[in-house]
Structure 1
Amino acid sequence: MTVLVFKTNMVCAGCKQTVTKALSRFGNAIRWTVDLDDCDKILRVETTRISPHAILQVMHEAGFMCEELV
């Protein structure tokens, strides 16, 4: 299992719902959480086969800024 960490610009529960719909295209291949209380609105994704690039692409398509933190 790999944990990918991203900085985002999500701000509310509505954003989380939008991201849930966007990330649902990966099905059970990922598990994710977001910390809206963190100043960087951290998105953590647990996966065994989804690339960081794929996550970035889906987030951008959903209208969010997303930057991988390494």
Structure 2
Amino acid sequence: METLKFKTNIKCGGCIATVTPFLNEAVGEGHWQVDVQTPDKVLTAEASNASVVKQAIEKAGYKAEPLN
């Protein structure tokens, strides 16, 4: 597992509530967090595959782009 960071369009607590079941299924509860205070709304996830995280976000109706 590695720590992956993504720029997202998750803006608020309601958005986080929407993506929670998708991310919990993809990477596991407690293995991700979104910092809505940063301009890029950074999602940090402990996962082995960036595409799994991105697909979970997109399935929830949001966008995620990997940060380098």
The two structures have a TM-score, normalised by structure 1, of 0.85
Query: Does the 8 A contact of 1:32 with 1:44 survive in 2?
Result: yes
User: Quick one: structure 1 residues 67 and 27, their matched pair in 2 at CA, closer, same or farther if it must change by over 3 Å?
Assistant: closer
Structure 2, unaligned runs of 5 or more: none
Give 1 or 2 for the bigger CA radius of gyration. Answer: 1
CA distances 1:36-64 after superposition (whole Å, capped 9, x unpaired): 010000000023xx310111111111100
Amino acid at match of 2:57: M
Structure 1, unaligned runs of 5 or more: none
| Aligned residue pair count | 68
Indicate the RMSD between aligned Cα atoms, in angstroms: 1.8
The two structures have a TM-score, normalised by structure 2, of 0.87
Misfit runs of 4+, over 6 Å = none
Amino acid at match of 1:69: L
What's the % identity of the aligned pairs? 37
Query: Does the 8 A contact of 1:30 with 1:45 survive in 2?
Result: no
CA distances 1:10-58 after superposition (whole Å, capped 9, x unpaired): 11101111111111213648601111010000000023xx310111111
